[in-house]
Amino acid sequence: MIDFAVIGSGISGATISNKLNKKYSVKVFEKAKGVGGRSSFKRFKGKIGFDHGLQYLSPRSRKFKTFTNKLIRKRIIKLWKGNHEFLNERVKRDKKHVKLIGLRGNNDISKHLLKTINCKFQSELSKIQRQKNCWFLKFKDNTNTYAKNLIITAPFPQVKKLASSFVKTKLFRNKVKMNSSLTVLLMTNKTGSNVSSFFTNDDILGWVSNENSKKRFKYNKDLWVLQSTYDYGKKHTDNYRNKKKFYTNVLINKFKKLTKVKIKKIYFTHIHGWKYSSNSKPLKTLSHWDKKIGLGICADWFGGPRLENGWLSANDLYNKIK
């Protein structure tokens, strides 16, 4: 029987698995087809693709800066230079913070941390039970497994649904507000734009990234990622599936109007709704560990809305387990 079953291959799951794997047997179960969670990379062909969720890292804490500096030296991540334009004059320009991205895609950190770890994809945990002092895990595809300890790294509402009857602390009494957003992946003619990203002050379109400016590939077309504001996401993420074309056009038209980028032809679009995109209110604790039943929870939502918060949470949990 494995020592630790870890649910999720985003930064939190990858970090805790990498640390535990040095001492224990670990297996990761991930409901998606690939690694990275909300920092996934949507491949179009070969090296060409889009950062689907997370756009860049801006390390704030000393610990995370040390970690990312190591990754830069190992050529896992790199600096995203370029011209980041602010169309919103009310927002202070974030000059102080560097922008770091994966060398090939923003799931490179998770891939690196999980390199030697046994991962099972398309494996969605649906129910957990305690049986004879260990965990009995049931998956949506009717498979199941046993594990001595269980670590869950999903967004707050999903962990609450799975594990609330096993958590005796006040953790799930917290009100963790998760934001939603819509993302459009867009491939156009070569526009000649020299802008790497646009921050806007619009009610609908919040941010645009020029994927070609990340210099991971050379391509004869432009790739863009358009992200809605949280306000727009809150209103429309639940029903976007019924009107994908409509919402795709709303975001593309806003992009054209606000940035004046010259789009003559559209080759490809894809829209995705992030129901649990990020959260805004940090909790008082960084992770949850119940040694008696071997249940751990770590995720970004303990500390804030960024990838760094997931990494810090996983480190905190590891220190508790140790």
Ligand X SMILES: Cc1cc2nc3c(=O)[nH]c(=O)nc-3n(C[C@H](O)[C@H](O)[C@H](O)COP(=O)(O)OP(=O)(O)OC[C@H]3O[C@@H](n4cnc5c(N)ncnc54)[C@H](O)[C@@H]3O)c2cc1C
- Supply the minimum distance, in Å, between the C-beta of residue 297 and ligand X: 10
Distance (Å, whole) CA 17 – CA 4? 8
Residues whose CB falls within 8 Å of the CB of residue 124, separated by 6 or more in sequence, listed in order: 31, 139, 140, 141
- Supply the minimum distance, in Å, between the C-beta of residue 136 and ligand X: 15
Does the footprint of ligand X cover residue 180 (CB under 6 A)? no
Distance (Å, whole) CA 144 – CA 141? 9
Distance (Å, whole) CA 249 – CA 261? 15
- Supply the minimum distance, in Å, between the C-beta of residue 56 and ligand X: 5
Single residue of 26, 154, 187, 223 touching ligand X by CB under 6 A? 154
Structural contact between residues 18 and 118, judged by C-beta atoms closer than 8 angstroms: no
Cβ nearer to ligand X, comparing 50 with 56: 56
Three-state DSSP class for residue 204: coil
Distance (Å, whole) CA 275 – CA 11? 18
Cβ nearer to ligand X, comparing 282 with 305: 305
Residue 234-273 contact track with ligand X, rule CB under 6 A, x = bound = ----------------------------------------
Which residue is listed with tokens 């829209």? 271
Stretch of residues binding ligand X (CB under 6 A), selected from 28-36, 42-50, 76-84, 168-176: 28-36
Structural contact between residues 138 and 125, judged by C-beta atoms closer than 8 angstroms: yes
Cβ nearer to ligand X, comparing 160 with 189: 160
Does the footprint of ligand X cover residue 29 (CB under 6 A)? yes
Stretch of residues binding ligand X (CB under 6 A), selected from 10-18, 67-75, 129-137, 244-252: 10-18
- Supply the minimum distance, in Å, between the C-beta of residue 35 and ligand X: 8
Residue 213-232 contact track with ligand X, rule CB under 6 A, x = bound = --------------x-----
- Supply the minimum distance, in Å, between the C-beta of residue 314 and ligand X: 8
Structural tokens at position 76 = 């896992």
| Sign of the dihedral through C-alpha 110, 113, 118, 124 | negative
| Sign of the dihedral through C-alpha 320, 57, 251, 91 | positive
- Supply the minimum distance, in Å, between the C-beta of residue 140 and ligand X: 8
Single residue of 57, 186, 271, 295 touching ligand X by CB under 6 A? 57
Cβ nearer to ligand X, comparing 13 with 49: 13
CA angle 318, 153, 284 (to 5 degrees): 70
Residue 119 forms beta bridges with which residues? 28
Single residue of 6, 7, 147, 295 touching ligand X by CB under 6 A? 7
Distance (Å, whole) CA 11 – CA 126? 21
Cβ nearer to ligand X, comparing 58 with 189: 58
Which of 98, 82, 114, 100 has its CA nearest to residue 9? 114
- Supply the minimum distance, in Å, between the C-beta of residue 23 and ligand X: 21
Does the footprint of ligand X cover residue 10 (CB under 6 A)? yes
Distances in whole angstroms, Cα of residue 188 to Cα of each of 124, 138, 155, 225, 289: 35, 44, 33, 11, 48
Cβ nearer to ligand X, comparing 27 with 38: 38
Single residue of 300, 303, 312, 318 touching ligand X by CB under 6 A? 300
Q: Which residues bind ligand X (CB under 6 A)?
A: 7-13, 29-32, 37-39, 53-57, 124-125, 153-155, 158, 181, 183, 227, 274, 277-278, 299-300, 305-308, 310
